[in-house]
Structure 1
Amino acid sequence: MANQQIQRIKSISEYHRLRGLHQPEHPLISLVDYAAMKNSPDNNKISWVYDFYFIALKKNMNAKFKYGQQDYDFDEGVMFFIAPGQVFRIEVMQDAPDKSGWMLLIHPDFLWNFTLATTIKKYEYFSYSVHEALFLSEKEEAVVSGVIQNIQQEYHANIDTFSQQIIISQIEVLLNYSQRFYHRQFITRRIANHKVFWINWKLYWISISAVMR
Protein backbone atom coordinates (compact mmCIF):
# COMPACT_ATOMS: atom_id res chain seq x y z
CA MET A 1 0.00 0.00 0.00
CA ALA A 2 2.84 2.32 -0.89
CA ASN A 3 2.07 6.02 -1.36
CA GLN A 4 -1.31 5.55 0.29
CA GLN A 5 -2.72 7.94 2.84
CA ILE A 6 -3.46 6.06 6.06
CA GLN A 7 -6.26 7.28 8.32
CA ARG A 8 -6.83 5.88 11.79
CA ILE A 9 -10.31 5.82 13.32
CA LYS A 10 -9.99 5.56 17.07
CA SER A 11 -13.62 5.27 18.14
CA ILE A 12 -16.95 4.00 16.87
CA SER A 13 -18.43 7.47 17.35
CA GLU A 14 -15.73 8.89 15.07
CA TYR A 15 -16.56 6.26 12.45
CA HIS A 16 -20.24 7.23 12.54
CA ARG A 17 -19.36 10.89 12.21
CA LEU A 18 -17.04 10.36 9.23
CA ARG A 19 -19.63 8.19 7.48
CA GLY A 20 -22.49 10.64 8.02
CA LEU A 21 -24.37 8.34 10.38
CA HIS A 22 -26.28 9.13 13.55
CA GLN A 23 -24.30 8.77 16.74
CA PRO A 24 -24.24 5.13 17.96
CA GLU A 25 -26.61 4.15 20.73
CA HIS A 26 -23.63 2.76 22.62
CA PRO A 27 -20.06 4.15 22.34
CA LEU A 28 -18.44 0.70 22.32
CA ILE A 29 -20.65 -1.24 19.91
CA SER A 30 -22.68 -0.44 16.83
CA LEU A 31 -24.72 -2.30 14.24
CA VAL A 32 -24.94 -0.37 10.96
CA ASP A 33 -27.26 -0.91 8.01
CA TYR A 34 -24.90 -0.79 5.04
CA ALA A 35 -27.65 0.42 2.67
CA ALA A 36 -27.84 3.66 4.70
CA MET A 37 -24.20 4.53 3.98
CA LYS A 38 -22.88 6.61 1.12
CA ASN A 39 -19.51 5.74 -0.36
CA SER A 40 -17.29 8.50 -1.71
CA PRO A 41 -14.72 7.89 -4.48
CA ASP A 42 -12.39 10.20 -2.51
CA ASN A 43 -12.01 7.40 0.05
CA ASN A 44 -10.50 5.10 -2.60
CA LYS A 45 -7.13 6.78 -2.05
CA ILE A 46 -7.19 6.15 1.70
CA SER A 47 -6.04 3.11 3.64
CA TRP A 48 -7.81 2.67 6.96
CA VAL A 49 -6.90 1.48 10.42
CA TYR A 50 -9.65 0.91 13.01
CA ASP A 51 -9.12 0.64 16.76
CA PHE A 52 -12.09 -1.73 16.98
CA TYR A 53 -13.25 -5.04 15.52
CA PHE A 54 -15.15 -4.79 12.26
CA ILE A 55 -17.37 -7.64 11.04
CA ALA A 56 -19.44 -7.13 7.94
CA LEU A 57 -21.63 -8.81 5.38
CA LYS A 58 -22.05 -6.76 2.22
CA LYS A 59 -23.91 -7.53 -1.00
CA ASN A 60 -23.92 -5.85 -4.43
CA MET A 61 -21.13 -3.52 -3.37
CA ASN A 62 -19.26 -3.28 -6.71
CA ALA A 63 -15.92 -2.78 -4.97
CA LYS A 64 -12.51 -4.27 -4.33
CA PHE A 65 -11.21 -4.87 -0.83
CA LYS A 66 -7.46 -4.82 -0.12
CA TYR A 67 -6.46 -6.53 3.12
CA GLY A 68 -2.82 -7.36 3.74
CA GLN A 69 -1.49 -8.55 0.36
CA GLN A 70 -4.83 -9.95 -0.79
CA ASP A 71 -7.54 -8.45 -3.04
CA TYR A 72 -11.18 -9.49 -2.70
CA ASP A 73 -14.17 -8.88 -4.97
CA PHE A 74 -17.52 -8.40 -3.27
CA ASP A 75 -20.39 -10.57 -4.43
CA GLU A 76 -23.54 -12.10 -3.00
CA GLY A 77 -23.24 -12.89 0.70
CA VAL A 78 -19.57 -11.98 1.18
CA MET A 79 -18.44 -11.68 4.79
CA PHE A 80 -15.14 -10.33 6.09
CA PHE A 81 -13.45 -9.61 9.42
CA ILE A 82 -10.97 -6.92 10.50
CA ALA A 83 -9.13 -6.79 13.81
CA PRO A 84 -8.01 -3.56 15.53
CA GLY A 85 -4.80 -2.07 14.18
CA GLN A 86 -4.87 -3.76 10.77
CA VAL A 87 -4.54 -1.78 7.54
CA PHE A 88 -7.03 -2.19 4.70
CA ARG A 89 -8.43 -0.30 1.75
CA ILE A 90 -11.75 -0.43 -0.12
CA GLU A 91 -11.95 0.78 -3.69
CA VAL A 92 -15.55 1.45 -4.71
CA MET A 93 -16.11 1.34 -8.47
CA GLN A 94 -19.62 2.77 -8.25
CA ASP A 95 -22.00 3.09 -5.31
CA ALA A 96 -24.63 0.48 -6.19
CA PRO A 97 -28.26 1.48 -5.46
CA ASP A 98 -29.21 -2.09 -4.52
CA LYS A 99 -26.37 -2.65 -2.05
CA SER A 100 -27.32 -4.22 1.25
CA GLY A 101 -25.85 -5.82 4.34
CA TRP A 102 -24.68 -4.86 7.80
CA MET A 103 -21.56 -3.91 9.74
CA LEU A 104 -20.92 -4.83 13.36
CA LEU A 105 -18.37 -2.61 15.12
CA ILE A 106 -17.05 -3.80 18.49
CA HIS A 107 -14.54 -1.89 20.58
CA PRO A 108 -12.24 -4.18 22.62
CA ASP A 109 -13.35 -2.37 25.78
CA PHE A 110 -16.87 -3.74 25.26
CA LEU A 111 -15.45 -7.23 25.78
CA TRP A 112 -13.42 -6.27 28.84
CA ASN A 113 -13.80 -8.68 31.78
CA PHE A 114 -15.49 -11.27 29.52
CA THR A 115 -13.86 -14.47 28.27
CA LEU A 116 -14.32 -13.39 24.65
CA ALA A 117 -11.81 -10.56 25.20
CA THR A 118 -9.13 -13.26 25.16
CA THR A 119 -10.66 -16.03 23.05
CA ILE A 120 -11.50 -13.73 20.12
CA LYS A 121 -7.81 -13.93 19.18
CA LYS A 122 -8.19 -17.63 18.31
CA TYR A 123 -10.39 -16.88 15.30
CA GLU A 124 -7.88 -16.95 12.47
CA TYR A 125 -10.09 -15.22 9.91
CA PHE A 126 -9.19 -11.89 11.56
CA SER A 127 -5.62 -12.47 10.38
CA TYR A 128 -3.84 -11.24 7.25
CA SER A 129 -2.94 -14.89 6.59
CA VAL A 130 -6.50 -15.67 5.45
CA HIS A 131 -6.41 -15.61 1.65
CA GLU A 132 -10.10 -15.42 0.85
CA ALA A 133 -13.30 -13.82 2.08
CA LEU A 134 -16.14 -15.94 3.43
CA PHE A 135 -18.74 -16.75 0.79
CA LEU A 136 -22.03 -17.76 2.39
CA SER A 137 -24.72 -20.01 0.96
CA GLU A 138 -28.34 -18.88 1.32
CA LYS A 139 -28.83 -21.17 4.33
CA GLU A 140 -25.65 -19.94 5.99
CA GLU A 141 -26.60 -16.33 5.38
CA ALA A 142 -30.00 -17.00 6.99
CA VAL A 143 -28.25 -18.41 10.07
CA VAL A 144 -25.94 -15.40 10.34
CA SER A 145 -28.84 -12.98 9.82
CA GLY A 146 -30.73 -14.62 12.67
CA VAL A 147 -27.83 -14.00 15.04
CA ILE A 148 -27.53 -10.40 13.87
CA GLN A 149 -31.24 -9.87 14.52
CA ASN A 150 -30.74 -11.07 18.09
CA ILE A 151 -27.89 -8.59 18.54
CA GLN A 152 -29.97 -5.83 16.97
CA GLN A 153 -32.86 -6.48 19.35
CA GLU A 154 -30.60 -6.08 22.38
CA TYR A 155 -28.69 -3.18 20.84
CA HIS A 156 -31.82 -1.08 20.40
CA ALA A 157 -32.88 -1.76 23.98
CA ASN A 158 -31.33 0.13 26.87
CA ILE A 159 -28.01 -1.72 27.21
CA ASP A 160 -27.47 -2.88 30.78
CA THR A 161 -25.33 -5.58 32.40
CA PHE A 162 -27.64 -8.34 31.18
CA SER A 163 -27.94 -7.10 27.60
CA GLN A 164 -24.16 -6.74 27.34
CA GLN A 165 -23.75 -10.39 28.35
CA ILE A 166 -26.43 -11.43 25.85
CA ILE A 167 -24.85 -9.43 23.04
CA ILE A 168 -21.39 -10.84 23.76
CA SER A 169 -22.84 -14.36 23.82
CA GLN A 170 -24.44 -13.72 20.42
CA ILE A 171 -21.15 -12.33 19.05
CA GLU A 172 -19.47 -15.55 20.14
CA VAL A 173 -22.18 -17.56 18.37
CA LEU A 174 -21.60 -15.46 15.24
CA LEU A 175 -17.85 -16.10 15.39
CA ASN A 176 -18.32 -19.84 15.91
CA TYR A 177 -20.72 -20.13 12.99
CA SER A 178 -18.25 -18.17 10.86
CA GLN A 179 -15.53 -20.60 11.90
CA ARG A 180 -17.71 -23.52 10.79
CA PHE A 181 -18.57 -21.86 7.47
CA TYR A 182 -14.91 -21.07 6.75
CA HIS A 183 -14.07 -24.71 7.41
CA ARG A 184 -16.86 -25.79 5.05
CA GLN A 185 -15.53 -23.42 2.40
CA PHE A 186 -12.02 -24.81 2.82
CA ILE A 187 -13.25 -28.42 2.50
CA THR A 188 -15.40 -27.58 -0.53
CA ARG A 189 -12.54 -25.71 -2.22
CA ARG A 190 -10.10 -28.56 -1.50
CA ILE A 191 -12.48 -31.16 -2.97
CA ALA A 192 -13.09 -28.99 -6.04
CA ASN A 193 -9.34 -28.49 -6.57
CA HIS A 194 -8.77 -32.23 -6.13
CA LYS A 195 -11.36 -33.00 -8.81
CA VAL A 196 -9.84 -30.44 -11.19
CA PHE A 197 -6.40 -31.97 -10.60
CA TRP A 198 -7.55 -35.49 -11.46
CA ILE A 199 -9.53 -34.33 -14.49
CA ASN A 200 -6.47 -32.46 -15.80
CA TRP A 201 -4.25 -35.46 -15.03
CA LYS A 202 -6.64 -37.80 -16.87
CA LEU A 203 -6.79 -35.48 -19.88
CA TYR A 204 -3.00 -35.32 -19.86
CA TRP A 205 -2.65 -39.11 -20.06
CA ILE A 206 -5.34 -39.34 -22.73
CA SER A 207 -3.41 -36.83 -24.84
CA ILE A 208 -0.11 -38.66 -24.23
CA SER A 209 -1.70 -41.98 -25.17
CA ALA A 210 -3.06 -40.47 -28.37
CA VAL A 211 0.40 -39.20 -29.35
CA MET A 212 2.05 -42.56 -28.64
CA ARG A 213 -0.37 -44.53 -30.80
Structure 2
Amino acid sequence: MQLPPTRIKSISEFHRLADLPKPEHPLITVIDLETLKRPLEEGTFSRVFDFYSIALKKNFHLKMQYGQQPHDFEEGILHFMSPGQVLTVSIDNSLPHNPSGWMIFFHPDFLWNTSLAKTIKQYDYFGYAANEALHLSDKEETILTGIAKNISQEYHGNIDGFSQPVIIAQLELLFTYADRFYQRQFVTRKVSSHALLSRLEEVLDHYFQSGALATQGLPTVSFIAKSLHVSPNYLSGLLKAQTGQNTQQLLHDKLIALAKEKLSTTQLPVGDIAYALGFEHLASFSKLFKTKTSLTPLAFRKSFQ
Protein backbone atom coordinates (compact mmCIF):
# COMPACT_ATOMS: atom_id res chain seq x y z
CA MET A 1 0.00 0.00 0.00
CA GLN A 2 1.35 3.41 -0.96
CA LEU A 3 1.93 5.73 1.99
CA PRO A 4 0.64 9.33 2.09
CA PRO A 5 2.99 11.91 0.54
CA THR A 6 5.97 12.99 2.63
CA ARG A 7 6.25 16.78 2.90
CA ILE A 8 9.75 18.22 2.64
CA LYS A 9 9.55 21.66 4.17
CA SER A 10 13.01 23.06 3.56
CA ILE A 11 15.99 22.75 1.26
CA SER A 12 18.14 21.78 4.25
CA GLU A 13 15.77 18.89 4.94
CA PHE A 14 16.09 17.67 1.34
CA HIS A 15 19.90 17.77 1.58
CA ARG A 16 19.75 15.75 4.78
CA LEU A 17 17.41 13.12 3.30
CA ALA A 18 19.61 12.82 0.19
CA ASP A 19 22.83 12.53 2.23
CA LEU A 20 24.16 15.73 0.69
CA PRO A 21 26.35 18.33 2.46
CA LYS A 22 24.51 21.22 4.06
CA PRO A 23 23.31 23.74 1.49
CA GLU A 24 25.41 26.86 1.11
CA HIS A 25 22.27 28.99 1.20
CA PRO A 26 19.13 28.13 3.21
CA LEU A 27 16.72 29.23 0.46
CA ILE A 28 18.32 27.94 -2.76
CA THR A 29 20.44 25.03 -3.93
CA VAL A 30 21.89 23.65 -7.16
CA ILE A 31 22.47 19.89 -7.25
CA ASP A 32 24.53 17.90 -9.72
CA LEU A 33 22.56 14.65 -10.02
CA GLU A 34 25.72 12.59 -10.46
CA THR A 35 26.46 13.34 -6.80
CA LEU A 36 23.34 11.45 -5.71
CA LYS A 37 25.05 8.12 -5.05
CA ARG A 38 22.85 6.76 -2.26
CA PRO A 39 20.97 3.59 -3.31
CA LEU A 40 17.30 4.26 -3.82
CA GLU A 41 14.74 2.41 -1.76
CA GLU A 42 12.57 0.19 -3.93
CA GLY A 43 8.85 0.86 -4.01
CA THR A 44 6.44 3.70 -4.74
CA PHE A 45 6.43 6.90 -2.76
CA SER A 46 5.21 10.48 -3.07
CA ARG A 47 6.84 13.74 -2.09
CA VAL A 48 5.50 17.24 -1.64
CA PHE A 49 8.04 20.07 -1.64
CA ASP A 50 7.44 23.45 -0.02
CA PHE A 51 9.70 25.09 -2.59
CA TYR A 52 10.06 25.48 -6.35
CA SER A 53 11.89 22.84 -8.36
CA ILE A 54 13.50 22.98 -11.80
CA ALA A 55 15.13 19.75 -12.91
CA LEU A 56 16.90 18.45 -16.00
CA LYS A 57 17.07 14.71 -15.36
CA LYS A 58 18.52 12.05 -17.66
CA ASN A 59 19.04 8.30 -17.40
CA PHE A 60 16.80 7.97 -14.36
CA HIS A 61 14.89 4.91 -15.62
CA LEU A 62 12.18 5.56 -13.04
CA LYS A 63 8.42 5.64 -13.36
CA MET A 64 7.36 9.10 -12.28
CA GLN A 65 3.99 10.77 -12.11
CA TYR A 66 3.41 14.48 -11.70
CA GLY A 67 -0.19 15.68 -11.92
CA GLN A 68 -2.19 13.05 -13.80
CA GLN A 69 0.28 11.57 -16.26
CA PRO A 70 3.33 9.28 -16.00
CA HIS A 71 6.59 9.99 -17.80
CA ASP A 72 10.27 9.14 -17.70
CA PHE A 73 13.55 11.01 -17.79
CA GLU A 74 15.62 8.94 -20.17
CA GLU A 75 16.10 11.86 -22.55
CA GLY A 76 16.56 15.58 -21.99
CA ILE A 77 13.38 16.67 -20.25
CA LEU A 78 12.99 19.81 -18.16
CA HIS A 79 10.54 19.49 -15.31
CA PHE A 80 9.06 22.32 -13.25
CA MET A 81 7.17 22.06 -9.96
CA SER A 82 5.58 24.65 -7.71
CA PRO A 83 5.39 24.40 -3.91
CA GLY A 84 2.70 22.01 -2.73
CA GLN A 85 2.55 19.81 -5.84
CA VAL A 86 2.82 16.02 -5.56
CA LEU A 87 5.51 13.97 -7.29
CA THR A 88 5.11 10.18 -7.23
CA VAL A 89 8.06 7.89 -8.02
CA SER A 90 8.16 4.11 -8.51
CA ILE A 91 11.63 2.56 -8.14
CA ASP A 92 12.68 -0.82 -9.53
CA ASN A 93 16.28 -1.55 -8.54
CA SER A 94 16.57 -4.23 -11.22
CA LEU A 95 16.88 -1.38 -13.74
CA PRO A 96 20.13 0.58 -14.21
CA HIS A 97 20.19 3.92 -12.46
CA ASN A 98 22.98 6.30 -13.48
CA PRO A 99 21.38 9.73 -13.24
CA SER A 100 22.83 12.84 -14.80
CA GLY A 101 21.60 16.39 -15.07
CA TRP A 102 20.87 18.99 -12.45
CA MET A 103 18.21 20.34 -10.11
CA ILE A 104 17.63 23.85 -8.83
CA PHE A 105 15.46 24.28 -5.74
CA PHE A 106 14.48 27.68 -4.40
CA HIS A 107 12.13 28.64 -1.60
CA PRO A 108 9.43 31.29 -2.23
CA ASP A 109 11.13 33.41 0.44
CA PHE A 110 14.17 33.72 -1.84
CA LEU A 111 12.02 35.80 -4.19
CA TRP A 112 11.04 38.45 -1.65
CA ASN A 113 11.66 42.02 -2.81
CA THR A 114 12.50 40.88 -6.35
CA SER A 115 10.71 41.24 -9.67
CA LEU A 116 10.34 37.47 -9.87
CA ALA A 117 8.14 37.44 -6.77
CA LYS A 118 5.41 39.11 -8.85
CA THR A 119 6.01 37.42 -12.19
CA ILE A 120 6.74 33.77 -11.38
CA LYS A 121 3.07 32.82 -11.48
CA GLN A 122 2.88 33.90 -15.12
CA TYR A 123 5.06 30.96 -16.15
CA ASP A 124 2.42 28.39 -17.03
CA TYR A 125 4.78 25.42 -17.13
CA PHE A 126 4.99 25.30 -13.33
CA GLY A 127 1.44 23.94 -13.51
CA TYR A 128 1.72 21.75 -16.60
CA ALA A 129 0.70 18.12 -16.48
CA ALA A 130 3.78 15.91 -16.56
CA ASN A 131 3.16 14.50 -20.02
CA GLU A 132 3.84 18.01 -21.22
CA ALA A 133 7.14 18.55 -19.51
CA LEU A 134 9.57 20.38 -21.77
CA HIS A 135 11.35 18.04 -24.22
CA LEU A 136 14.67 19.64 -25.10
CA SER A 137 16.80 19.41 -28.21
CA ASP A 138 20.55 19.04 -27.68
CA LYS A 139 21.05 22.73 -28.45
CA GLU A 140 18.31 23.79 -26.04
CA GLU A 141 19.69 21.54 -23.33
CA THR A 142 23.13 23.12 -23.75
CA ILE A 143 21.69 26.62 -23.39
CA LEU A 144 19.74 25.85 -20.22
CA THR A 145 22.57 23.85 -18.68
CA GLY A 146 24.86 26.83 -19.26
CA ILE A 147 22.46 29.03 -17.27
CA ALA A 148 22.27 26.41 -14.50
CA LYS A 149 26.09 26.42 -14.34
CA ASN A 150 26.08 30.20 -13.97
CA ILE A 151 23.66 29.88 -11.06
CA SER A 152 25.78 27.11 -9.56
CA GLN A 153 28.95 29.22 -9.75
CA GLU A 154 27.21 32.10 -8.01
CA TYR A 155 25.72 29.73 -5.43
CA HIS A 156 29.09 28.14 -4.65
CA GLY A 157 30.90 31.48 -4.60
CA ASN A 158 31.07 33.91 -1.73
CA ILE A 159 27.50 34.91 -0.90
CA ASP A 160 27.24 38.70 -0.82
CA GLY A 161 24.75 41.46 -1.48
CA PHE A 162 24.91 40.86 -5.23
CA SER A 163 24.28 37.12 -5.11
CA GLN A 164 20.49 37.24 -4.97
CA PRO A 165 19.97 39.72 -7.87
CA VAL A 166 22.49 37.85 -10.02
CA ILE A 167 20.73 34.51 -9.40
CA ILE A 168 17.29 36.07 -9.93
CA ALA A 169 18.45 37.47 -13.27
CA GLN A 170 19.71 34.04 -14.32
CA LEU A 171 16.43 32.38 -13.27
CA GLU A 172 14.46 34.92 -15.29
CA LEU A 173 16.69 34.22 -18.31
CA LEU A 174 16.10 30.48 -17.86
CA PHE A 175 12.34 31.03 -17.72
CA THR A 176 12.41 33.20 -20.85
CA TYR A 177 14.20 30.48 -22.79
CA ALA A 178 11.76 27.89 -21.41
CA ASP A 179 8.89 30.02 -22.72
CA ARG A 180 10.51 30.04 -26.15
CA PHE A 181 11.15 26.31 -26.14
CA TYR A 182 7.60 25.50 -25.01
CA GLN A 183 6.22 27.48 -27.94
CA ARG A 184 8.50 25.48 -30.22
CA GLN A 185 7.15 22.31 -28.62
CA PHE A 186 3.57 23.36 -29.27
CA VAL A 187 4.43 23.63 -32.97
CA THR A 188 6.66 20.57 -33.40
CA ARG A 189 4.69 18.10 -31.31
CA LYS A 190 1.62 18.29 -33.53
CA VAL A 191 0.69 14.63 -33.18
CA SER A 192 0.18 14.77 -29.41
CA SER A 193 -1.38 18.22 -29.69
CA HIS A 194 -3.87 17.07 -32.31
CA ALA A 195 -4.71 14.00 -30.25
CA LEU A 196 -5.46 16.25 -27.28
CA LEU A 197 -7.61 18.53 -29.41
CA SER A 198 -9.55 15.50 -30.66
CA ARG A 199 -10.17 14.39 -27.09
CA LEU A 200 -11.26 17.94 -26.26
CA GLU A 201 -13.89 17.78 -29.01
CA GLU A 202 -15.15 14.47 -27.62
CA VAL A 203 -15.39 15.87 -24.08
CA LEU A 204 -17.29 18.96 -25.25
CA ASP A 205 -19.60 17.04 -27.60
CA HIS A 206 -20.55 14.67 -24.79
CA TYR A 207 -21.17 17.54 -22.38
CA PHE A 208 -23.22 19.58 -24.85
CA GLN A 209 -25.34 16.59 -25.89
CA SER A 210 -25.94 15.32 -22.36
CA GLY A 211 -28.30 18.12 -21.33
CA ALA A 212 -25.81 19.40 -18.76
CA LEU A 213 -25.93 22.91 -20.24
CA ALA A 214 -29.46 23.48 -18.93
CA THR A 215 -28.66 22.36 -15.40
CA GLN A 216 -25.00 23.28 -14.98
CA GLY A 217 -24.27 25.91 -17.63
CA LEU A 218 -21.08 25.95 -19.65
CA PRO A 219 -18.37 23.61 -18.42
CA THR A 220 -15.60 25.41 -16.58
CA VAL A 221 -12.08 25.50 -17.95
CA SER A 222 -10.97 23.58 -14.85
CA PHE A 223 -13.53 20.82 -15.53
CA ILE A 224 -12.40 20.45 -19.15
CA ALA A 225 -8.70 20.45 -18.24
CA LYS A 226 -9.27 17.84 -15.54
CA SER A 227 -11.14 15.65 -18.04
CA LEU A 228 -8.11 15.85 -20.35
CA HIS A 229 -5.54 15.39 -17.54
CA VAL A 230 -3.80 18.69 -18.22
CA SER A 231 -3.71 22.00 -16.38
CA PRO A 232 -6.07 24.86 -17.33
CA ASN A 233 -3.09 27.03 -18.27
CA TYR A 234 -1.63 24.34 -20.50
CA LEU A 235 -4.97 23.80 -22.24
CA SER A 236 -5.36 27.52 -22.91
CA GLY A 237 -1.76 27.75 -24.13
CA LEU A 238 -2.19 24.84 -26.51
CA LEU A 239 -5.45 26.20 -27.92
CA LYS A 240 -3.92 29.63 -28.41
CA ALA A 241 -0.94 28.15 -30.25
CA GLN A 242 -3.01 25.75 -32.41
CA THR A 243 -6.25 27.67 -33.00
CA GLY A 244 -5.66 31.27 -31.96
CA GLN A 245 -8.45 30.95 -29.39
CA ASN A 246 -8.53 30.44 -25.65
CA THR A 247 -10.80 27.88 -24.00
CA GLN A 248 -13.59 30.37 -23.28
CA GLN A 249 -13.71 31.52 -26.90
CA LEU A 250 -13.91 27.92 -28.09
CA LEU A 251 -16.81 27.22 -25.72
CA HIS A 252 -18.70 30.26 -26.93
CA ASP A 253 -18.20 29.25 -30.57
CA LYS A 254 -19.59 25.76 -29.89
CA LEU A 255 -22.47 27.28 -27.96
CA ILE A 256 -23.37 29.59 -30.84
CA ALA A 257 -23.11 26.71 -33.32
CA LEU A 258 -25.61 24.73 -31.23
CA ALA A 259 -27.85 27.78 -30.94
CA LYS A 260 -27.83 28.21 -34.72
CA GLU A 261 -28.81 24.58 -35.15
CA LYS A 262 -31.79 24.92 -32.80
CA LEU A 263 -32.88 28.25 -34.26
CA SER A 264 -32.78 26.98 -37.84
CA THR A 265 -34.17 23.47 -37.40
CA THR A 266 -36.81 23.82 -34.64
CA GLN A 267 -39.70 26.09 -33.78
CA LEU A 268 -38.76 26.32 -30.11
CA PRO A 269 -39.19 29.79 -28.59
CA VAL A 270 -35.91 31.68 -28.34
CA GLY A 271 -36.33 31.82 -24.56
CA ASP A 272 -36.55 28.03 -24.35
CA ILE A 273 -33.43 27.68 -26.50
CA ALA A 274 -31.58 30.12 -24.28
CA TYR A 275 -32.57 28.16 -21.18
CA ALA A 276 -31.56 24.83 -22.76
CA LEU A 277 -28.16 26.33 -23.50
CA GLY A 278 -27.64 27.29 -19.88
CA PHE A 279 -28.63 30.97 -19.93
CA GLU A 280 -30.72 32.27 -17.04
CA HIS A 281 -31.72 35.39 -18.93
CA LEU A 282 -32.75 35.75 -22.57
CA ALA A 283 -30.98 39.11 -22.78
CA SER A 284 -27.61 37.50 -21.99
CA PHE A 285 -28.11 34.90 -24.72
CA SER A 286 -29.21 37.52 -27.26
CA LYS A 287 -26.23 39.73 -26.46
CA LEU A 288 -23.68 36.92 -26.93
CA PHE A 289 -25.41 35.69 -30.10
CA LYS A 290 -25.39 39.15 -31.66
CA THR A 291 -21.76 39.71 -30.66
CA LYS A 292 -20.77 36.51 -32.43
CA THR A 293 -23.03 36.71 -35.50
CA SER A 294 -24.02 40.42 -35.85
CA LEU A 295 -27.64 39.22 -35.79
CA THR A 296 -30.22 38.80 -33.07
CA PRO A 297 -31.49 35.22 -32.59
CA LEU A 298 -34.84 36.18 -34.16
CA ALA A 299 -33.18 37.84 -37.14
CA PHE A 300 -31.04 34.74 -37.66
CA ARG A 301 -34.13 32.51 -37.56
CA LYS A 302 -36.03 34.71 -40.01
CA SER A 303 -33.12 34.43 -42.48
CA PHE A 304 -34.05 30.74 -42.85
CA GLN A 305 -37.76 31.29 -43.36
Q: Provide Cα deviations, 1:7-41, integer angstroms capped at 9, x if missing partner.
A: 00000000000111111000000001111113523
Distance 2:162 2:193 in 1: 47
Asked if the contact 1:48/1:89 (under 8 Å) is kept, the reply is yes
Matched, 1:122 2:131: no
Q: Are the counterparts in 1 of residues 52 and 108 from structure 2 also a CA contact under 8 Å?
A: yes
How much does 1:4 deviate?
Answer: 3.5
User: Does the C-alpha gap of structure 1 residues 193 and 164 become closer, same or farther in structure 2, counting only changes over 3 Å?
Assistant: closer
Secondary structure (helix, strand or coil) at the match of 1:149 reads: helix
The residue type paired with residue 122 of structure 2 is K
Instruction: State the match for 2:180 in structure 1.
Output: 180
CA RMSD of aligned residues (A): 1.9
Which residue does the alignment assign to 2:16? Answer: 17
Of the two structures, which has the highest relative contact order with CA contacts closer than 8 Å and spacing of 6 or more?
Answer: 1
| Aligned equivalents of 2:18, 2:192: Cα separation in 1 | 40
Cα deviation, residue 69, structure 1:
0.8
Structure 2 unaligned blocks of 5 or more = 195-305
Distance 1:39 1:133 in 2: 26
**TM-score using structure 2 length:** 0.59
For residues 181 and 140 of structure 1, the distance between their equivalents in structure 2, rounded to whole angstroms, comes to 8
- Return the letter of the residue paired with 2:149: Q
* Shift of residue 79, structure 1, vs aligned partner: 1.1
Which has a greater percent of strand?
Answer: 1
Equivalent-residue separation in structure 1 for 2:118 and 2:90 (angstroms): 32
Q: Is residue 156 of structure 2 the alignment partner of residue 156 of structure 1?
A: yes
In structure 1, runs of 5+ residues without a counterpart are 195-213
Aligned length: 192
CA distance in 2, matches of 1:139, 1:100: 17
Partner of 1:78: 77
| Structure 2 counterpart SS, 1:187 | helix
**1:130: how far off?**
5.8
The one-letter amino acid of 1:71's match is P
Give the deviation of 1:191 after TM superposition.
6.8
1:70 deviates by 1.0
Q: Secondary structure at the match of 1:5?
A: coil
The code of the aligned residue for 1:132 comes to E
Tell me how far 1:141 sits from its aligned partner.
0.6
Alpha-carbon distance between aligned partners in 1 of 2:98 and 2:14, rounded to the nearest angstrom: 23
Aligned-pair identity in percent equals: 52
The alignment's TM-score, normalised by the length of structure 1, stands at 0.84
Indicate conservation of the 8 Å contact 1:124/1:130, yes or no.
no
8 Å CA contact 1:49–1:87 kept in 2: the answer is: yes
